[in-house]
Structure 1
Amino acid sequence: MKKLIQLWKFLTRRFILFLLCFVLPILIGWFMYEIFSASIPKNLPIGFVDLDNTTTSADVRFSINASPTMYIHTYYTSIAQAKQDLATAKIYALAIIPRNFQQDIYLGKGACIALYYNAQFVLIGKALNSAFAQVIGTLNAQQSVAHNLIADQDMKLALSKAMPIFSQIIPLYNANNNYAQFLLTLLLPCMLQILSALAMVQLLKNRPYSFKSLFIRYIGNSCVFLIWGICMLLFLKNLGYELRGSLGLLIMGLTILMLGINGVVVFLQSILLDIKKSIGVIAVYTAPSLAFAGVTYPQNSMNLIALIWSKFLPISSFMELYVQQANYGGSVSGAMHILLQMCIFLIFFVLGSIIYTQRKTQ
C-alpha cells in the first residue's frame, strides 16, 4: 500500500503523465463509443427529383422513405437546383425519376431511376448504394408479380415467375453489419498503443541512470495500459461482440503489445535523448496504425513498403490475433505463432537498456 501511495503521488505531481495514464483512456474511449454507438448509418438525407409525378413515382418515393438507411430530405424540381446541396453534403445523394417513367413501365420499355451520390464519403456511399439497390429490387419484384398475377391468377405461380432464383446470402462474423463492432475493435487498441507510447516518453523525460530505474518505469507503464486493455476487452464483450476464442490468449497478446511498444520507445529515447524528437518520431511511427493494422485495408492488397510498415507495428500482429480469436475462435497453435512473432518487439527494450548502460559508463 505504501508503494501504491508513492506511485499515486508521483503521477499526480506530473499532470501530463496522469492525464495520459488515467484520464485520456476514459475520455477518448467514451468519445469513440459515442460516435459509433448508432452501430449502422440510419436516416441519411437524400434529395428527390420527380419529373413524372405519377402513382408509380409516388410508390418509389414511399419505398425510399420506408428504408431505414435513408429518407427524402428535400424535393427539387431539377438536378441543377440540387447540385449545391449535394456538393456541401446537405444531402448525400439525389434520386431522379425521369419523365414518362410510369408509361415506360406499362409499355414494357424499361424505366431508369438515377441515383447520384457522394462517393467521397465511402461508408455513406456504400450504405446508400446498398439501400437503393434493395429498394429497386423490391420495386422490380412487385411490378413483375403484378404483371404475372394478371396473366396467371395465381400468387405462387406469379411469384415464382417473377423471382425464379432466390438468393441465400448468409453474413458471418458481424451479421448485422455493425460499424461500431468493426471500428471500435480497432480504434481502441490503436488508442492504447499511442497513449502507452506517449506515457513511456514522459517517464523517460528524466534520464534513468540504472537498469533498475529503467525497468521499473518500463514495467509500471506497461502494467497500467495492460489493465486498460483488459478493461477494453471486457467492455467489448459486454457490448455483445463476438469472443469465440480464448480471453487468456488475448490478454497475453495485450501484454506483449504493451511491452513491445514501450520497448520501441525505450530504444528510440536511448538513441535520441530528446523528448521532443522522440515524441515526433513516435507520432510518425504510431499515427498510421489505423491504416496499416490490416483491418480497414487488407494486408494482402498492400504494396511492399506498406506491408513492411504494417509488420513493423506491434498493433498489426495484435489485431491479427484479435480477429483470429474473437471472430473465428482460432486454434491455440495459430495464436502462439502470432504471439511469438510479437515477441520480436521485446528485443527493442533489451537494445535500449544496453545503450543506456553504455552511455552511463561513458
Structure 2
Amino acid sequence: MLHEDARRAAIGDNPCMSGQIAPLEAEPRLTSLSHGGGCGCKIAPGVLSSILKGTGAMPIPAELLVGIETSDDAAVYQLNETQALVATTDFFMPIVDDPFDFGRIAAANALSDVYAMGGTPIMALALVGMPINVLSTATIGKILEGGASVCREAGIPIAGGHTIDSVEPIYGLVALGLVHPDRVKRNASAKEGDMLVLGKPLGVGILSAALKKNQLSAEGYAQMIASTTQLNAAGPALSVLPGVHAMTDVTGFALAGHALELARGAGVTVQIDWPSVPVLAGVRELAAQGIITGASARNWAAYQHEVHLPNGFSEPDRALLTDPQTSGGLLVSCSPASVDEVLSVFRQRGFGHAAVVGKVTPASEFSLVVKSA
C-alpha cells in the first residue's frame, strides 16, 4: 500500500528506526484507532470557548504572568527576578502509523509551546494512554522511544509521567521550561505596524488526511515528518530580540485561528498576504482533490465571521488557511526594522521556508483580512 511504501522510504537506513515494520504488519494501523489525528483532534474553537467560559474566575497571583486570558501557548509563573517557569501540556491521537514517528511528532509539538513563549525546556513528563489489548508492548515502547529521542535532541530528560489503558492511543508531554520574565513573548502583544514572519510552511493537516486515505506519496510523507519533528528551538533566540513583540505557534486552529488569537489579544487587525505564505509541496493539489481534514471545516465554522477573504478565494486555499497544523511553525510579530534579523535567526536554525506573511494594522471590521495580491 502507498502509505507503507511512504513509511519505509522515510525510515530508510536509519538504525534508530530499524525493526519497526514487523509489529505494524501484525497490528492495526495506528491512525485507524483514532477518530482524529494530531492537533486536528482539538475541540473546535467555538466549543472550546464555551467550555472555558468562567473557568478563570478566581484570584490570580501576581506571579502568574500568563494564564488563560488570551488562549496563550503556555502558562508562565515568575519564580524570581531572573527566572519564570513555563508550563504546558499537549497530547493527541496518532497522526501517522509509524509508532516511533508518532512519538517524535507528539513530543516536538508539546515542546513547541515552551519555545513559543521564548522559553528553554528543562524537563518533561510523559502522558500515555494506550489500548493495551490491541497494541503490543513493543509498539507502545517505540512510541515512547520516539518521544524520548526528541527530548534528547532538546537536551532534556523525560523525568516521569502517567499511563492509562484507553480506547484510543494517546501520547504527549507535560513540558516545563524557563525564561527571563522580561523575555516572555505572549500572543497578545503585537503592535500596529508590525510585520508577521512564519517559520514553517502550511499543509500538515492535508498531508495527514492523504496518509489516512492511502494517497500520500513517499516524498509527501518524508516532508510531513521533517516538518512535524523539527523543534521550534528558534524561540529563545527570537525572544531576546527587542523588535520581537509577540509570538505563538500555529497548531490545531490553523494559521487563521492563531492569527485571530494574536489580533484579538492586541486589539488589532492581522493582514495575511496569501501569496507569500509558504506551503508544503503537493498540498494544494491534494486539497483541490478534496483531501482535507474535518477539523478544517470546524475551524472555519467557528471563526469565519471574523475573517475577510478576497473575491475568488478558492476552496482549496480556504482549506489551507484553516488547515490544522501539528507541530506547526512559530508566528512572530516584529517591527519592520527587525525582519531581517528574525529571518536570519530562523535560517541559522534550519528553517529555510521562513517568510514574511503579513502585517499588523489598526483594528477594523474584521480581525483577520486575507489579501490575494
TM tier, smaller: under 0.3
Give the helix-richer structure, 1 or 2: 1
Give the strand-richer structure, 1 or 2: 2
- Which structure has more relative contact order (CA 8 Å, sep 6+)? It is 2
Calculate the TM-score normalised by the size of structure 1: 0.24
Larger gyration radius, structure 1 or structure 2: 1
Calculate the TM-score normalised by the size of structure 2: 0.23
